[in-house]
Structure formats: C-alpha cells, structure tokens
C-alpha cells in the first residue's frame, strides 16, 4: 500500500505544478510522482537526454502493445 508523505512547496512551484497537472489531465499528486520519476531517470542516466529516455520507454510500451514496426537500416521508402 502506498505511503502518504507531506511535502511543503513554495507557492510559485505549487502553482506551476498545478498548471502542468491541469494541462496533462492529472492530479497534483500524479504530477509530482511523474516529476519524481523523471528526476530519478535523469539521475540514473546523466549522459542521456530526458526526451530520449521518454521516447525509448514509449517505444518499449508500443512493442508490448504490438503496435510497433521494425526499422530497416539503410532503406528509404
């Protein structure tokens, strides 16, 4: 079962998180979890851009769902 933690944030940071959460159709809690997850990925992979990590994870999920296509190197269509 998930634990509940209390975190105090500066007002400006809280407002920015609330705005991003609304844009992404997430709760504030879900948005904070997303940011923490992204931060951990960045710390574990300091030489790799976050956008590349996200695209790689998205591609892995597409493969699991069966909606990916194999890339053929050197073939232009």
Helix pair 50-65, 28-44: axis angle to 10 deg: 110
Cβ atoms 68, 62 nearer than 8 A:
yes
Determine the pLDDT at residue 2: 83
Distances (CA, A) of 24 to 30, 36, 41: 10, 16, 20
Express each pLDDT in 43-71 by its tens digit. 999 999 999 999 999 999 999 998 988 77
Among the residue ranges 1-5, 16-20, 23-27, 43-47, the one predicted with the least confidence is 1-5
For the entire predicted model, the pTM comes to 0.73
């Amino acid at each position: 079962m998930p634990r509940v933690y209390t975190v105090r944030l500066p007002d400006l940071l809280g407002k920015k998180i609330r705005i991003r959460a609304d844009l992404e159709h997430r709760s504030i809690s879900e948005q904070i979890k997303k940011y923490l997850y992204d931060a951990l990925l960045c710390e574990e992979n300091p030489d790799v851009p976050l956008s590349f990590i996200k695209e790689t994870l998205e591609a892995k999920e597409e493969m699991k769902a069966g909606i990916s296509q194999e890339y053929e190197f050197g073939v232009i269509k």
